[in-house]
Amino acid sequence: MKKKVVVIMGGISSEREVSLNSGKSVLEAIDRNKYDVHQLIIDEPMDVVNKMPQDIDFALIVLHGKYGEDGTIQSMLESMNIPYSGCDPLTSGICMDKNMSKKVLKSSNIPTAPWTIAKSLDSIDYDAIEKMGYPVFIKPNSGGSSVATFKVDRKEDVYEAVRQGLEVDDIVMIEGYLPGDEYTSFILNGEVFPTIKISSPNEFFDYESKYATGAKAATEEVVYLEENLQNEINLRSKECWDAFNCRAFVRVDFILSNGKFYVLELNTLPGMTKTSLIPRSANAKGISYSELIDKIIEYSL
């Protein structure tokens, strides 16, 4: 008998469109010979309860941002006794909260950039920013896809960047800038997959370069680093997996600055569009998109 699977997509965050694109890609790729597939588009929080099809065996969560990656929907699915893809509510919530995840990284001796936070325009710590030095990145604490993310080169521009960040989140992170190349590491069931290097035509890997096609798109290529660097990124990836008690799959984003890898963030529900990073990494190991979905389901159960 086919397993009855619901693909949950949409959501109420600023990344709704990304989620819809991810969900569409998953619906096109999932093996319908194995699964009885249903679609659930979330327009408001209680839709996961009110619109859930009957007798679901597994929920494939393809949501991004708040009420997706933050553990809320995972908790609701647990209360409904429906198995779901990815990390549990606690891990999801901590990884979604950049400030909390950096605290875990720091306590685990995993390198990450210096940072401070602002909960209001009055609470901006200009002294802490000066200590880090300009430029800095200013972004929502719980956002993703580089929405409302700014590289700020001078004190005069901090206020406006924080103001815009507070429009989409209650907390804004102000993070020290580390010059270098960006890499991402996909981990499936504790196994580190091939590393991907990200090169953006824009100043950083912003929303446009993440989801555009053609000349404005970022270049994302599988790379095989020299042995000591490859060993380091693999080690740091496994340390993150263990420190955050991850399950099934996760993506860890790094920057290589002055010969050392620093963790930028963990993504517990990474993008699954056709241009996303984890299908590309899996493909480098000979795993098709459809097979990747199979494995995510298998390792989540």
**Residues with a known catalytic role:** 15, 145, 211, 251, 253, 265, 267, 271
> Is 177:137 a contact under the CB 8 Å cutoff?
yes
Residue with tokens 């606690």: 90
Task: Name, in order, each residue with C-beta under 8 angstroms of 200's C-beta and a sequence gap of 6 or more.
Answer: 182, 206, 209, 218, 219
Q: Taking the CA atoms of 64, 69, 75 and 77 in sequence, report the sign of the dihedral they define.
A: positive
Q: Name the helix (H) or strand (E) containing 8.
A: strand 3-10
Choose among 278, 8, 271, 280: nearest CA to 146. 271
**Amino acid of residue 207:** Y
Characterize the bridge pairing of strands 181-188 and 249-257: antiparallel
**Amino acid of residue 3:** K
DSSP state of 102: H
239, HSE (Cβ side, Cα atoms, 13 Å): 18
Cα–Cα distances in Å, from 122 out to 98, 118, 164, 243, 277?
21, 8, 14, 34, 38
